[in-house]
Amino acid sequence: MPMELHPFDQAIALQADGPDRFSGHCGRSYWNMLGPFGGISAATALQAVLQHPALLGEPVSLTVNYASALVEGPFTIIARPVRTNRSTQHWMLELQQQGAGGALETNLSATALTARRRPTWGASDVPFPGVPASDSLETVRHVFPLEWFHRYQLASVCGGIPDAWDGTENGAGPDTASLTRVWMRDMPLRVLDFCSLTALADVFFPRVFLRRATRVPSGTVSMTVYFHAGGELLRQCGSGFVLGQARGQVYRNGFFDQTAQLWSAAGEPLATSTQVVYYKE
């Protein structure tokens, strides 16, 4: 009897559909407010690269631009290796769906870099923060009725969703006013890989919520992920918790940006990320 696919693997599943073309289906299992959780769309874009027969190496960077909310139903990804060097490869991607008028529309664009990496000198200037172990913390209750929240188990260290949406501006000072640290992992449990790590980089709620204790309408418009771990290290993380840290930078005229870092439970840096987010007022 075939084992049922994990919801994550179902969501990012792609079928080769011609040279540089893949087809997939956008379902409800990672549904956010108006479309799927952005992290799952980013993971799906990366999956097209990883499944492409011309792939060289492993992911180094990925930038995903959210042009319009995906709708439930089929989609096509065009994934082109635009340049292949000796040890690096550059990718351009578009995810398209049929629009209201019947024509194909681009709902997501992306670029990626993959590379064959070699051992070198290494270091980190973003040291693993001293935080309580995940099993000493309570897992977060899901306060928003959003389907994708149920696909993650979160244990908040600091900077959780505000207790009261009373519009009080956070006066903790720039170092911590928008700082979140949270343990997170897939639910049901799933062994970590490049795609699930990509999605985890988008789990942090918009910093503007934390900063203003107000649920300002907002949504990510572009996210970049840099991968600092190889596939073997990710596999070794198994289905353990990943520590995520996010912090806002500048909020101005309808857009703000936030940076993020992700570490394994053993303190190994896995990825860094940044995103720019639209907010309404």
Per CB under 8 A, residues contacting a second copy are: 60-61, 63, 65, 67-68, 82-83, 85, 88, 90, 92, 94, 105-107, 109-111, 113, 115, 117-127, 174-175, 177-178, 207, 211-212, 221-222, 224, 226, 228-230, 247-255, 257, 259, 261, 269, 272, 274, 276, 278-281
DSSP letter at 175 equals T
Between 98 and 139, name the residue whose CB sits nearer to a second copy: 98
Minimum CB separation of residue 78 from a second copy in Å reads 11
3-state secondary structure of 8: helix
Minimum CB separation of residue 3 from a second copy in Å reads 33
Q: Which of 252, 249, 261, 168 is nearest to 210 (CA)?
A: 168
Burial state string for 98-111 with b = 16 or more CB within 10 A and e = fewer than 16: eeeeeeeeebbbbb
Between 93 and 184, name the residue whose CB sits nearer to a second copy: 93
Taking the C-alpha atoms of residue 254 and residue 257, their distance in angstroms, rounded to an integer, is: 11
Between 153 and 272, name the residue whose CB sits nearer to a second copy: 272
Minimum CB separation of residue 204 from a second copy in Å reads 14
- Identify the burial level of 19 via C-beta atoms within 10 angstroms of its C-beta, where 0-12 means exposed, 13-18 middle and 19 or more buried: exposed
Between 26 and 155, name the residue whose CB sits nearer to a second copy: 26
Minimum CB separation of residue 173 from a second copy in Å reads 9
Residue 228 has phi, psi (to 5 degrees) of -110, 0
Contacts of 13 (CB under 8 A, 6+ apart): 5, 24, 25
Minimum CB separation of residue 130 from a second copy in Å reads 13
With residue 235 as reference, give the H or E element that holds it. helix 231-237
Between 52 and 212, name the residue whose CB sits nearer to a second copy: 212
In whole angstroms, how far apart are CA 158 and each of 59, 67, 263?
A: 30, 32, 16
Minimum CB separation of residue 1 from a second copy in Å reads 41
Between 22 and 251, name the residue whose CB sits nearer to a second copy: 251
